[in-house]
Structure formats: C-alpha cells, structure tokens
C-alpha cells in the first residue's frame, strides 16, 4: 500500500478502488461493530435479562468486562502491529473478534455472553490504533479532511446506530441478530483485508522489544477492577467488596506510571502529552467521552422510566442523535482547517452546555420534539468536541510522536470511560434512594397538603365506583408510583447538571487550545511544491521554440 499508489485493488479491466476507500471500509467494519454493540446492549438489556432469567446486576458484567478489555487492547495493538505488520495483526484481531461474536450469538447465559464480550472488547481495542492511523495516512492530501467523515460519521455514528438497533431489537423482541451483524462485518473485513493488505516487509520490522512488564501490570489492573466495579452499584464505595480492590488497583496504577516513565519504549508513552496543546486536546477528548456516557445514561433513563417512550419513539429519538453526528461530521470536515480543533471544540462544548442545563428541567411533560432537537444538538456537540480534541492532541507538536500521543490519549480515555460508567450507575441508584426516602417521609407525615391530595384522589376513585378501602389503596399506590418517578427524575437531573459543568470545563480547554497558537492543518498547502516545479523545468528544458511546444 504505497503512498504513491492510490489503489489497492483492481480487476482485469483496469478498474481500481481508491486506497482510502478500502481503508475506510476496513476501519468502519472492524471497529464500528464494537461501538454499536455497546450501546445496543445498553438499550435492549431487558430483553437479554428476560431471556437468561438473570438479575439486573448480573447483566452489568458483560458491559464492564468489554469496556475494560477494550481499554487494555488499545495500547497493546500498536505494539503488536509494529512487530508483526498491519496485515497479520489486522487479520488476526478481526478473526478473534469474529470468534467472540459467534460465542455471543449462541450464548445461553451471562457467563458465555461475558466471555464473548471480553474477546470482542480486547480484539477491537487492539484494532483501534492498528487500522485508524493507516486509514488517516491512506487519504490523499487534497481530501485528507474527509477522514473526519469516517472518524465522526462512521465510528462515532456507529454508537448512535447501536442505540437505534437496540430500540429496534426491543420492538421485534429479539437481540441475537445484532451480534449476527458483528459476524457479517468481520467476514467482510477478513475477505477484503486478505485480498488487499500487503504482506509484512521484514526489512521494515522494528526491533523494539515488547514491554511485557507494563502489559502484565496493566492487565492486572483491569482484572482487579472487574469485581469492585461490578459490586459498586448496589454496595457503594464503603463496602469491603469494593474499596480494597479499588485501592489495590490505584496502587498498581502508580506503579504502572513509574515503570512507564522509566521505560525506553513505554507501552503508554505518557510523557508525550506533557505540553499545553496536547493537554488541552486530551481534556477535550476525555471530557467528550465522559459527557457522552453521562448524557446517554441519563437521557435513556428519562425516555424509558419517565417519558415511558414506546420502542418506536425510542428508535426515532436515537435516529435524531445519528443525524446530529452526521451534521457534525461534514461540518468538521469542511471547517477543521479553517477554524482549528480549538474553536470547533468550543462550538461543540457550547452545545453540550446548552443541552446539559436544558435537560436539568426535563420532565414527563417535556415534548418529544424538544427532546429530538436536544439529542440532535448533543450528537453534534459531543462528536465535534471529542474528535477535534483527539485529533488536535495527536497533531500538536512533533509529528513523529503523533502516534505516541494517540496511544496515551486513547488509553487514558477508554480506561476512565470503563470506570466512570459503573460509577454513574452507583450515583443514580444512590440519589434515587435518597430522594425516594424524602418523598416517603413527606407521604407518611401529617403534612396537610399531602393529606389533602390523598383525600382528593380517594374521592376521585370512589366516584369511579371503587369502595372506600380500594380507593384508599389505589390512591396510596399512585402516590408511591409518582414518588418513585419523581425520585429517579431528580437523580437524572443531577446527572444533567454534571453534564453542563463538564461542558464548561471542555469549553475552557477548547478555548485554551484555540488561543495557544497555530494548529497543524490536515490538508497541507502545496504552494511551495507548485512554485518549485516550473523552476525545475526551466533548468532542465530548453526555451520553447514555437507555440506548439509544451512544457
């Protein structure tokens, strides 16, 4: 796949497929399934729970394991790719992902589903920085900005599509077909990758040793985090089943950082991010990831538990999210080089702030049109800020260290993302319990207003033909149900307030990046080259003799 040859596949008639298009397909079909499977699982989890007759807590395990495995695979993938080449690494990782997908399709309990998600998470994490840098380089300079359509519309859009597929699976009452899509995508990647990816050139192999010590410590950290994150939602941080494991994992993180900083070829080169521009971009990217998790956890709960949205409404809702991501993809593509990642990140962060603080007032009476518009704006904002920050951090400074900055940024981002999701679950459960106890106290008290509301409801039920006893029971039941809905809504409001604050932090980081100096553009100017070529021609060719002579 030479840079000079724009095609990697051709037929006997001489028709060719551009290299960047082939690499875009290999990227989208290899990493996209992990993204859409993650969010579809969040949405259609109740189907799997009913099929397996499992508890709500047990279904946390596949998601936790998959996210932690993905974070582990992100830094390991590039190291193995440098040793064995893109072709061998890519095809191996895709084959492993295919095996995980097959396990998931035929799984009959949470244990096998967790095993499949573990395999999928680890292999897709390794694929992440194996294929994405190759895809970016494959785009010709004149259209390199269109890589952002792939990064935002394709990869980030896969998460939105996942939510949509999850809602569709609820409506058809079947979830296995979503994993079948992962199998199909893997087979497409294996076929195309085997045909077009070049064989590894041993002369270009790097002799840098694999950092086995760092891989071992990082793997141990991930293993230690599984159990406490699984127990956290219902046990809390004070539980003996949680805090000792988190403390041990934190100690290993310190050891890992010290080993990493001292290593000649670190697994996660943290030093590469120690500058103003990379730090600002890192905050934008990590903040965008956290904002995404906060928003989806909150608004999905509102739609299902407060709005009582139908499956069709839920499908339309996430379709608008995807529309927002697509708008962001094309806007960022054409505006990245003009405004730079800082100002684009500021626009995206501002949209997050607006949506976050608007959702603080969301209720059961909020119109669906308003929610559709807000989720579309959020899709635009979070994708624009996250990708602009990630790309801006990678391209800030020496280009020879761009891959090192990407490895560090995405390793940190995915590790924190894997941890924050269970923490949000614990926060919502805790807040819900606190607010519900407050409401119960009000209902149980001799508050005249509460007594008046109960008496009015009893009279209304008696007017419908109920006996006094049945009317009283129905009134209390209705009040308790209303209290439960109000308490969970208050918990979601707190999440949305945190989302707004996070958007403000991202806005500050974005403006810091924008004001820290000129940023590197994707489409490099070719004026110097164009001016140099005529001069070279005048040196080598004689002056034209006639009008028909062409140079």
Residue 550 in this model has a pLDDT that exceeds 70: no
Question: What's the mean pLDDT when you consider all of the chain?
Answer: 87
What is the tens place of the pLDDT at every residue in 389-434? 999 999 887 777 888 999 999 999 999 999 999 999 999 999 998 8
pLDDT grade for 89, boundaries at 50, 70 and 90:
very high
Phi, psi of 283 (to 5 degrees): -65, -40
What single DSSP character describes residue 273?
G
pLDDT grade for 444, boundaries at 50, 70 and 90:
low
Top-confidence residue, 529 or 98: 98
- pLDDT at residue number 484: 83
Question: Concatenated DSSP letters for 337-358?
Answer: HHHHHHHHHHHHHHHHHHHHHH
pLDDT grade for 460, boundaries at 50, 70 and 90:
confident
pLDDT grade for 547, boundaries at 50, 70 and 90:
very low
Is residue 109 within 8 A of residue 55, CB to CB? The reply is no
Top-confidence residue, 461 or 266: 266
CA separation for the pair 496, 363 (Å, rounded): 12
Residue 536 in this model has a pLDDT that exceeds 50: no
Is residue 389 within 8 A of residue 285, CB to CB? The reply is yes
Top-confidence residue, 377 or 520: 377
CA separation for the pair 283, 262 (Å, rounded): 24
Residue 485 in this model has a pLDDT that exceeds 90: no
Name the β-bridge partners of 17: 9
HEC states along 467-511? CHHHHHHHHHHHHHHHHHHHHHHHHHHHHHHHHHHHHHHHHHHHH
**In 3D, which of 287, 314, 284, 26 has the Cα closest to residue 154?**
26
Cα R_g (the chain), whole angstroms: 27
Phi-psi region of 509 (alpha: psi -120 to 50; beta: other; left: phi over 0): alpha
pLDDT grade for 287, boundaries at 50, 70 and 90:
very high
**In 3D, which of 346, 331, 376 has the Cα closest to residue 358?**
376
Name the β-bridge partners of 9: 17
- pLDDT at residue number 171: 87
pLDDT grade for 186, boundaries at 50, 70 and 90:
very high
CA separation for the pair 441, 450 (Å, rounded): 11
What is the tens place of the pLDDT at every residue in 149-185? 999 998 888 988 998 999 899 888 889 999 999 999 9
Instruction: Kindly state the average pLDDT of the residues 28-36.
Output: 94
The encoded tokens of residue 193 equal 């990758």
**In 3D, which of 502, 509, 496, 501 has the Cα closest to residue 344?**
509
Residue 541 in this model has a pLDDT that exceeds 70: no
Instruction: State percent of the chain over pLDDT 90.
Output: 63
Is residue 289 within 8 A of residue 486, CB to CB? The reply is no
**In 3D, which of 289, 288, 385 has the Cα closest to residue 336?**
385
- pLDDT at residue number 446: 55
- pLDDT at residue number 155: 86
| Least confident interval from 250-259, 323-332, 504-513, 538-547 | 538-547
Core vs surface per residue 55-84: b (16+ CB within 10 A) or e = eeebbbbbbbbbbbbbbbbbbbbbbbbbbe
- pLDDT at residue number 524: 79
Residue 540 in this model has a pLDDT that exceeds 80: no
Residue 499 in this model has a pLDDT that exceeds 90: yes
Strands 16-18 and 7-10: antiparallel
Residue 3 in this model has a pLDDT that exceeds 60: no
- pLDDT at residue number 203: 62
Phi, psi of 361 (to 5 degrees): -105, 10
What is the tens place of the pLDDT at every residue in 288-314? 999 999 999 999 999 988 998 888 899
Core vs surface per residue 317-351: b (16+ CB within 10 A) or e = bbbbbbbbbbbbbebbbebbbebbbbbbbbbbbbb
What is the tens place of the pLDDT at every residue in 229-283? 999 999 999 999 999 999 999 999 999 999 988 888 899 999 888 877 799 999 9
Question: Concatenated DSSP letters for 10-59?
Answer: E-TT--EEEHHHHHHHHHHHHHHHHHHHHHHHHHSHHHHHHHHT--TTTT
- pLDDT at residue number 357: 97
Cα 406 to chain center, whole Å? 15
- pLDDT at residue number 92: 97
CA separation for the pair 292, 381 (Å, rounded): 10
Supply the angle between the helices 468-514 and 368-394 in degrees, to the nearest 10: 30
């Amino acid at each position: 796949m030479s840079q000079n040859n724009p095609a990697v596949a051709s037929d006997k008639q001489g028709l060719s497929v551009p290299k960047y298009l082939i690499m875009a397909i290999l990227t989208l079909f290899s990493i996209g399934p992990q993204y859409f499977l993650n969010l579809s699982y969040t949405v259609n989890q109740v189907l799997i729970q009913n099929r397996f007759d499992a508890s709500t807590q047990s279904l946390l395990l596949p998601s936790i394991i998959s996210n932690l495995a993905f974070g582990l695979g992100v830094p390991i993938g590039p190291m193995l790719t440098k040793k064995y080449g893109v072709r061998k690494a890519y095809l191996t990782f895709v084959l492993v992902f295919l095996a995980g997908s097959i396990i998931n399709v035929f799984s009959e309990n949470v244990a096998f589903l967790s095993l499949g998600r573990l395999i999928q998470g680890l292999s897709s994490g390794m694929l992440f920085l194996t294929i994405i840098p190759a895809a970016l380089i494959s785009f010709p300079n004149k259209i390199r900005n269109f890589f952002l359509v792939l990064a935002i519309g394709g990869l980030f859009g896969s998460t939105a599509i996942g939510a949509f597929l999850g809602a569709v699976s609820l409506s058809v009452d079947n979830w296995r077909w979503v994993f079948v899509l992962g199998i199909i995508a893997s087979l497409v990647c294996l076929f195309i990758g085997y045909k077009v990816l070049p064989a590894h050139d041993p002369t270009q192999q790097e002799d840098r040793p694999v950092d086995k010590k760092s891989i071992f410590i990082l793997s141990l950290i991930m293993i230690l985090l599984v159990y406490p994150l699984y127990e956290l939602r219902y046990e809390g941080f004070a539980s003996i089943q949680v805090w000792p494991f988190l403390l041990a994992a934190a100690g290993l993180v310190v050891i890992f950082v010290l080993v990493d900083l001292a290593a000649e070829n670190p697994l996660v080169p943290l030093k590469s991010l120690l500058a103003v521009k990379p730090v600002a971009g890192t905050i934008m990217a990590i903040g965008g990831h956290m904002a995404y998790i906060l928003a989806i956890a909150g608004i999905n709960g509102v739609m299902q538990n407060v709005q009582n949205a139908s499956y069709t409404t839920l499908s339309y809702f996430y379709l608008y999210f995807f529309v927002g991501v697509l708008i962001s993809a094309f806007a960022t593509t054409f505006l990245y080089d003009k405004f730079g990642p800082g100002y684009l990140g500021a626009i995206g962060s501002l949209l997050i702030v607006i949506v976050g603080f608007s959702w603080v007032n969301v209720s059961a009476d909020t119109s669906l049109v308003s929610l559709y518009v807000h989720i579309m704006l959020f899709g635009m904002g979070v994708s624009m800020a996250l990708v602009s920050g990630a790309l801006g951090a990678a391209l800030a400074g020496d280009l020879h260290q761009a891959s090192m900055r990407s490895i560090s940024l995405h390793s940190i981002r995915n590790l924190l993302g894997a941890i924050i999701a269970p923490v949000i679950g614990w926060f919502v459960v805790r807040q819900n319990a606190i607010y519900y106890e407050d409401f119960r106290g009000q209902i149980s008290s001799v508050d005249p207003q509460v007594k008046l509301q109960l008496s009015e409801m009893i009279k209304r039920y008696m007017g419908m033909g109920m006996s006094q006893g049945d009317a009283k029971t129905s009134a209390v039941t209705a009040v308790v149900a209303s209290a439960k809905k109000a308490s969970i809504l208050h918990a979601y409001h707190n999440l949305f307030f945190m989302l707004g604050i996070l958007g403000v932090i991202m806005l500050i980081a974005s403006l810091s990046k924008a004001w820290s100096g000129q940023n590197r553009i994707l489409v490099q100017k070719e004026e110097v080259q164009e001016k140099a070529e005529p001069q070279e021609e005048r040196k080598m060719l004689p002056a034209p003799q006639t009008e028909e002579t062409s140079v």
